[in-house]
Amino acid sequence: MAANFGPPVPAVAALGSELRQNLPPALVEALEKIGDQIEIEIPAPLLCAASVEQLAGTFERAFPLARGPHTSYQSWRSQ
């Protein structure tokens, strides 16, 4: 039998809905636009990459810290 610790945590969807109700509508709209732009620039190109090179290039543009000599796919590939 499992023990319960503390109060139950509400579902993420419920938290998002509650948060949206408490924020000004203009802020909610701005955050949705930012989320849409992030989706266009990062997950969509990563999921639609036609080659490993294209995937690596998109990843390195989106996450510039991954461009170091030890983590870069391009530098590994050229060795």
Give how many domains the chain has, as a whole number. Answer: 1
Closest listed residue to residue 74, CA positions, set 59, 40, 22, 30: 59
Instruction: Write down the number of H helices and E strands in the chain.
Output: 5, 0
Is residue 9 in some structural domain? no
Is residue 30 in some structural domain? no
**How confident is the model at residue 30, as a pLDDT?**
92
Is residue 75 in some structural domain? yes
Assign 29 a pLDDT band (cuts: 50, 70, 90).
very high
**How confident is the model at residue 34, as a pLDDT?**
92
Which residues form the domain of 54? 39-79
Which two structure tokens, joined as six digits, stand for 26?
Answer: 């203009």
| pTM listed for this prediction | 0.51
Give the N- to C-terminal CA distance of the chain in Å, as an integer: 56
Mean pLDDT for the stretch of residues 9-34: 79
| Measured CA angle at 72 (ends 63, 46), to 5 deg | 50
